[in-house]
Amino acid sequence: MMINGILLDDMNYSFEYSNGALESKPKFESKEFICFVEGNDDVIFWEKKFENAGINDVLFEEVGGKEEIEKFILKLGTGLKAILCLDKDYNFILNRENKNKKIVYTYGHSIENTLYCSNSIKNYILKLGRFSKKSSNLILKAIELEYVNFETKVYPLLKYEIANEKICLECNEQGTVNINSVSVLGNNTCKFLYKNSSIIIAEDKVKTIIDLCIKKIPNEIVIELEKTMSTNKLNIREIVRGHFLTNWVINLVKKIIKDQKNQNVKIEIQSVFPSLVEHCLTCKVPSCVKKTYYNTNIKKAYLELSSFL
């Protein structure tokens, strides 16, 4: 599709496009407006969330990651008529969220933190392990028990992770580099597990990283973050980096099915995201705070955008 000499199909957002060119694309797709998301996997999640909020006439486009979506945040400030959906990351702890009303953030750190709720995991296990519904409560209790153990072990790491990010962001703004930066959590739980197939966080591995953090990260920053985190309503599982949770959740699913049915299941990591999107979006829990959060904030963003359309 050509608009004003610009090829819009398979648009490469590493190049700059005018607001007008971006706003024209949904019209040619018979959609009301365009919504930009970070990555390709994000499209299926946000499509369903908008449908749940009763807003269906939307063209979703992924822009190629975090750095690219930052450019679109700047474009919102210049009047771009669009909605952006992006991960909260640690910005909500560090008070760095952009307040533009046409931005919708994930409930926790990222999409995975929404998907990996106990009820969604329970429903995934029921289907994958071919359990009867009468096993629901037993499985839910097992998930919650392991989550509490996980959160207790991970919290000391998480506060240093966020403290390190705070320092790095401040250094970046000053045009300097944090020479004492520490890789705390990373994107994979496995480096903290007793073995790759386990769900048990090894205390000696945690201690090794904590000891390094104590040497590199000022304690007053950590204390300040502890106060902020103590007043936050989210659980540790919702604050921690979403990708960090993935391997642990896979191991948890395997463990519970093994414990309950003495059955070994194979789970491809690529299948987890779409499977849990399905279970998350069909969840029947009436008091789900995440569902309320998304419906409310998507509708607010749409109402804000509608005044400009």
Rounded Cα distance between 253 and 194, Å, is: 17
Rounded Cα distance between 110 and 98, Å, is: 16
pLDDT at res. 309: 78
Give the residue from 240, 243, 245 showing the smallest Cα distance to 158. Answer: 240
Q: What is the dihedral of CA 202, 203, 207, 209, to 10 degrees?
A: 30
Tokens of 115: 């998907």
pLDDT at res. 8: 44
Q: What is the dihedral of CA 72, 73, 79, 85, to 10 degrees?
A: 80
Tens digit of pLDDT for each residue in 112-156?
Answer: 999 999 999 999 999 999 999 999 999 999 999 999 999 999 999
Give the residue from 271, 284, 285, 279 showing the smallest Cα distance to 127. Answer: 279
Please give the DSSP secondary-structure letter assigned to residue 104: E
CB 117, CB 51: distance < 8 Å: no
Give the residue from 165, 178, 176 showing the smallest Cα distance to 66. Answer: 165
Tens digit of pLDDT for each residue in 184-234?
Answer: 999 999 999 999 999 999 999 999 999 999 999 999 999 999 999 999 889
pLDDT at res. 12: 52
Rounded Cα distance between 296 and 59, Å, is: 20
Tokens of 129: 């392990």
